Chain A
Amino acid sequence: MMSLGSKFAEIQAGIDALRALGRNPFDIRFEKILSPTEALLDGRPVLLFGTNNYLGLTFDAACIAESARALHEAGTGTTGSRIANGTYSDHALLERRIAQFYDKRAAMIFTTGYQANLGLISTLAGREDHLLIDADCHASIYDASRLGAAEVIRFRHNDPDDLARRLRRLEGRPGDRIVVTEGIYSMLGDTAPLREIAAVKRELGACLIVDEAHSLGILGERGRGLCEAAGVEADVDFVVGTFSKSLGAIGGFAASDLPGFELLRVVCRPFMFTASLPPAVVASVNASLERIARDPSLGRRVLENARRLYFGLTAAGFQVGPEPNPIVAVKMPDRETAVRFWNRLIEEGLYVNLALPPATPASLSLIRSSVSAAHEEAQIDRAVSIMTAVGHELHVLERRASAAALPAT
């Protein structure tokens, strides 16, 4: 018989090492979710600062009402895929709304954001093509690149010159060049230099895909993401995104002006061979998208909150990511301190994400938090004060202070 224990012995050892220091971070069980910002964990209330619930819409009354209406009208599930079992009117409505929201000719929805990347990228990346992905791209983009037939090249994170060098090395070879970046990167909260990347794309000829998973509803005047904020929407061939973060539900999408986009529906396997989104989810996304299109104040609010957390932690002496965005990552001196830190925060009533190598860039050990428009200022201040107290207790802050005091060599 197959032994999973020996097959995954190293993984098990890794989990055992984490357990020796406290909880299993892969198995956190909330007894109850009280609101977008609070839950019960081990019978005690915790502040939620690790949710990706950027706009706090998971309990929005209009979204819940629309979701309940659809649930009663159309049932709990679609029980099949769009190509085999048909499209419901709300699927079609949501696709039109997304296309409208981005001012693109067409949009396609997927059952998750992961599948949107998997489907779009693997289908575009044909046998003679070349896929160039930012080194810090999400796992779904890496997995898409393995499912596709194209040659895959990683370029240095946020480095347009490196991208240009790699495109030039391909000169004379047949096939399309497909470049993939994200809007806000999910670990450090930094944004892509899209203006420069778009310029490289124009100069050297490539198709550009931007995953706005963490920037939809947050960046740009109309909430369309980094492409809008950077003024490069005309250069972006495909926008990809998810409904699972700012829109508070689940699902993913791709939107494009490219003629023939509709053909993807009958060639894209992660679209074709999985069941479509259930009516209740589609309806709540329709409602949340309508909300952010009508009211950009939530996006402004989450950025204000992000700055409050980011600058609060900076003032306390923590080393954080390069930009004040709704993902705020605190750098820990080492893996073990990160694990202890994360456990202590939970004991003090603060839930954040523990992010360890190899899931992080540059082998960093991070305490990753995500900020919501639903956070009260007092909750953010409390998060800063808990982190600061634990920072002193575990000597993360003293170490930083004394390191800063050392003369430069």
Chain B
Amino acid sequence: MTYNGDTIEAEIVKMLTGRIPAGVQVTGETRIVDGLGLDSVAVLDFIMDLEDHFDISIPLDRIAQVQTVTELSGAIGTLVSARG
């Protein structure tokens, strides 16, 4: 499957459903650390699911640079295209 920024972002939002507290609205600007209603370890665990889904590993320093859902999908996109 090929991905672009929009499809990756859509996948992230889809995978968040059911994992975040009801009523939390997710957009590209949502901040992953304090905007999802998840604690820091839960965010890292969610990112592991994304890693499985996209068959990549996102190094921790890359995760630390990411603030919003759009930035996260950008980081994933870069790693997915590097994978080839």
Residues in chain A within 8 A of chain B (CB atoms):
135, 145-146, 151-154, 156, 166, 169-170, 357-358, 360-363
Contacts and interface: CB of A to CB of B under 8 A. Distances in A.
A143 B8 CA distance: 30
B60 A154 contact: yes
Contacts of B41: 357-358, 360-361, 363
A153 B59 contact: yes
A154 B48 contact: yes
B29 to A, nearest CB: 21
Nearest to A167: B57
14 contacts: A135-B44, A135-B48, A146-B60, A151-B59, A151-B61, A152-B59, A153-B57, A153-B60, A154-B48, A154-B60, A166-B57, A361-B41, A362-B45, A363-B42
A153 B61 CA distance: 9
Contacts of A154: 44, 48, 60
A154 B58 CA distance: 9
B39 interface: yes
Interface residues of B, number: 15
Interface in B42-60: 42, 44-45, 48, 55-60
Contact of A135 (B45, B57, B58, B61): B45
A138 to B, nearest CB: 13
B59 A358 contact: no
B7 interface: no
Nearest to A10: B34
A331 to B, nearest CB: 16
Contact of A358 (B40, B48, B57, B60): B40
Given A135-B44, A169-B83, 7 more contacts: A135-B48, A152-B60, A153-B57, A153-B58, A153-B60, A154-B44, A154-B60
